[in-house]
Amino acid sequence: MKLKIMSLCKRIRKREDVYRIIKIYAAKGESIAPEAKCYLQCLVRDFEDNGLNLTAIKREEVERLTNEIDELSLRYIRNLNEDSSCLFFTEDELSGLPLEFLQSLEKTQNKEFKLTLESRNVAAILELCKIAKTRKTVAMAYGKRCGDTNIPVLQRLVHSRHRLARVLGYAHFADYALDRRMSKTSMRVIRFLEDISSSLTDLAIREFSILKDLKRKEEGEIPFGVEDLLYYIKRVEELQFDLDFGDIRQYFPVSLVLSGIFKICQDLFGIKIEEVTEVDVWYHDVRAFAIFDSGSGKLLGYFYLDMFTREGKCNHSCVMALQNNALFSNGACQIPVALLIAQFAKDGSGEAVPLGFSEVVNLFHEFGHVVQHICNRASFARFSGLRVDPDFREIPSQLLENWCYESFTLKLISGYRQDITKPLVDEVCKTLKRWRYSFSALKSLQEILYCLFDQIIYSDDDADLLQLIRSLHPKVMIGLPVVEGTNPASCFPRAVIGSEATCYSRLWSEVYAADIFASKFGDGHPNLYAGLQFRDKVLAPGGGKEPMELLTNFLGREPSTQAFIDSRTNYSL
């Protein structure tokens, strides 16, 4: 049914007669509410994105280019999915990899291990393998995937997207992709990325010096390559931080973490969460909850928790909008409903396995989306729930993640598995916060590198995909050259489908969430006054107002990158 409705909407947005009527009504300039006016503008732009404001010839060109872009995108992804590249290593060449990893690999008659170039295998090698030659071999092979086939495909795809943008009235594809987002223009994104990069360069140089010194001690004068970063970051963290994440897992029973998240959000946003038992669910361990305003007692919405992995269930964690808030013409309100899907494990007896720390952080993040969905009070379903500017959508969840590293929260959500009255000790709580920011400059620069690559190819008609990364890599990565013979142009799906010209968006959200947290919640405790202000001024309006206007109204100034920079430099090694 949902697919049929989506298909119908797409067909309607190509109807010239409907477009003309809406355009005429919009031109009248009748006095309507700001949100309704915004909705009307969005409708007009939906039609114009399909070329309805263009001549018949240009409209045909839009359709042809759209089909061409779809075909090229699928071809690029298909080439990667069908790539069967593999490498063979002896056990000695895989020194440092855990036994369970080796047992998961196919073994040849010559007793060599067959390593397919799946991202999880490559990540394990680059992080754990003690042999520098193996790390480099794997990094080179992974970065060369589909080089001969996908670079020409991406070149054509970029040109087709630029042509589409020009037909629709934009200088290049990046400005077309960003026009309705917080960032607005490619120039602003590039300036944002370069400003953060330059601010973190000195810290990155100090971090890099620590890694080079350790490599020199362990491997002699072998040059340090970018393929060594993950391995030596992990090695230094093992030496610098006394953290046993296997032991820490024993302090995070699912029920305790969940009740802690509920309390944090209730104390922070002025809401009350109650379980609903008299409701039909699709699996026996799915739970349903209602959220009320704690002051008035008004029902705000419902959410379901589908927490544990099982056969046939989708294999990723996310929040899905089952029903958006909306106001009907008779004044009645449609109640929002959300579904949080997680992939937590149960043991052989059916008991929930305690959460790893990364799972705790992920649960906070996803529950941030639940709160965002339920607290969005936009009158139009189009602007409610999670249907907000993509540059803004992750900010509430990134904000909530910050509490995972505060001692107050960690003690609230932790309790030893065999005695839940014993939370994490103070020293572990403090160490987790320091660990969060270890080598954060180098990690940020790596992300900025690929965000810049993505932004440049979609804002420059003449970008040379083969040369760009060779010049960009050492410039951003404090002199480190790209791995010999590799090029992300051949194996960078984010720049092809889903995040083309918008790879920066995750970092954008993290930066502004850091500003909000430092400015309004810096002591690490739930601040009800600030939380209610955030709920009313930022979450409630939803997509009916410009996100930058919402954040500026909440902060009392325009958002800044400084808190993000300070958080990294204040906890540097």
Of the candidates 385, 367, 368, the one whose C-alpha atom is nearest the C-alpha of residue 376 is: 385
Instruction: Answer yes or no: is pLDDT of 3 > 50.
Output: no
Tokens of 284: 């026996």
Of the candidates 398, 375, 410, the one whose C-alpha atom is nearest the C-alpha of residue 271 is: 375
Q: What confidence tens digit (pLDDT) does each residue in 451-471 have?
A: 999 999 999 988 999 899 999
Residue 74 lies in a domain: no
Q: What confidence tens digit (pLDDT) does each residue in 89-146 have?
A: 999 999 999 999 999 999 998 899 999 999 999 999 999 999 999 999 999 999 999 9
Could you say which of 144, 163, 178 is where a domain stops? 144
Q: Is residue 327 classed as helix, strand or coil in its secondary structure?
A: strand
CA angle in degrees (0–180, nearest 5) for 532-535-538: 130
Range 67-95 average pLDDT: 96
Q: What confidence tens digit (pLDDT) does each residue in 351-361 have?
A: 999 999 999 99
Residue 428 lies in a domain: no
CA angle in degrees (0–180, nearest 5) for 473-497-336: 120
Instruction: Answer yes or no: is pLDDT of 51 > 90.
Output: no
Residue 287 lies in a domain: yes
The set of residues, in sequence order, having a beta carbon less than 8 Å from that of 91 and lying 6+ positions away, is 102, 111, 113
Distance CA 339, CA 283 (A): 13
Distance CA 212, CA 224 (A): 7
If one counts every other C-beta atom within 10 angstroms of the C-beta of residue 311, the result is 4
Q: Do 121 and 104 share a structural domain?
A: yes
Q: Do 262 and 231 share a structural domain?
A: no
Distance CA 247, CA 254 (A): 15
Q: Do 554 and 508 share a structural domain?
A: yes
Distance CA 158, CA 459 (A): 10
Q: Do 210 and 203 contact (CB within 8 A), yes or no?
A: no
Q: Do 123 and 193 share a structural domain?
A: no
Q: Estimate to the nearest angstrom the gap between the alpha carbon of 136 and the chain centroid.
A: 28
Q: Do 319 and 342 contact (CB within 8 A), yes or no?
A: no
* Crossing angle (nearest 10°) for helices 132-143 and 119-128: 150
Q: Is residue 563 classed as helix, strand or coil in its secondary structure?
A: helix
Q: What is the DSSP-derived secondary structure letter of residue 538?
A: I
Q: Do 372 and 397 contact (CB within 8 A), yes or no?
A: yes
Ranges 30-39, 182-191, 507-516: which has the least confidence:
30-39
Of the candidates 432, 386, 387, 395, the one whose C-alpha atom is nearest the C-alpha of residue 410 is: 432
Could you say which of 401, 427, 447 is where a domain stops? 401
Residue 261 lies in a domain: yes
Q: What's the number of CA atoms in the CB half-sphere (13 Å) around residue 554?
A: 29
**Integer-rounded Cα radius of gyration of the chain:** 25
Q: Do 554 and 537 contact (CB within 8 A), yes or no?
A: yes
Residue 407 lies in a domain: no
Q: What is the pLDDT of residue 26?
A: 84
Of the candidates 344, 386, 394, the one whose C-alpha atom is nearest the C-alpha of residue 508 is: 394
* Count of the separate structural domains present in the chain: 4
Q: Do 276 and 232 share a structural domain?
A: no
Q: What confidence tens digit (pLDDT) does each residue in 506-551 have?
A: 999 999 999 999 999 988 888 999 999 999 999 999 999 999 999 9
Q: What is the pLDDT of residue 569?
A: 87
Q: What confidence tens digit (pLDDT) does each residue in 408-447 have?
A: 999 999 999 888 999 999 999 999 999 999 999 999 999 9
Q: What is the pLDDT of residue 387?
A: 93
Catalytic hit among 93, 366, 401, 500: 366
Bridge-based pairing of strands 287-293 and 271-276 is antiparallel
**Sorting pLDDT into bands at 50, 70 and 90, what band is 9?**
low
Could you say which of 351, 385, 401 is where a domain stops? 401
Tokens of 492: 């960078």
Residue 15 lies in a domain: yes
If one counts every other C-beta atom within 10 angstroms of the C-beta of residue 537, the result is 17
Q: Do 131 and 95 contact (CB within 8 A), yes or no?
A: yes
pTM given for the model = 0.94
Tokens of 174: 């990046």
Q: Do 165 and 173 contact (CB within 8 A), yes or no?
A: yes
Q: What is the DSSP-derived secondary structure letter of residue 490?
A: G
Q: What is the pLDDT of residue 7?
A: 58
Residue 169 lies in a domain: no
Q: Do 479 and 445 share a structural domain?
A: yes
**60 in active site:** no
Q: What confidence tens digit (pLDDT) does each residue in 280-313 have?
A: 999 999 999 999 999 999 999 999 999 999 999 9
Q: Do 299 and 330 share a structural domain?
A: yes
Q: Do 280 and 137 share a structural domain?
A: no
Q: What is the pLDDT of residue 572?
A: 59
Residue 518 lies in a domain: yes
Q: Do 293 and 346 share a structural domain?
A: yes
CATH number, domain of 330, equals: 3.40.390.10
Instruction: Answer yes or no: is pLDDT of 326 > 70.
Output: yes
CATH number, domain of 553, equals: 1.10.1370.10
List beta partners, residue 344: 308
Per the structure, the complete domain to which residue 111 belongs is given by 84-144
Q: Do 482 and 138 contact (CB within 8 A), yes or no?
A: no
Distance CA 22, CA 330 (A): 22
**Sorting pLDDT into bands at 50, 70 and 90, what band is 4?**
low
Distance CA 364, CA 342 (A): 11
Q: What is the pLDDT of residue 573?
A: 56
Give the phi and the psi of residue 253 in degrees, each rounded to 5: -60, 140
If one counts every other C-beta atom within 10 angstroms of the C-beta of residue 563, the result is 18
Q: Do 391 and 330 share a structural domain?
A: yes
| Mean pLDDT, rounded, of the chain | 93
Q: Do 235 and 128 share a structural domain?
A: no
Q: Do 341 and 274 share a structural domain?
A: yes
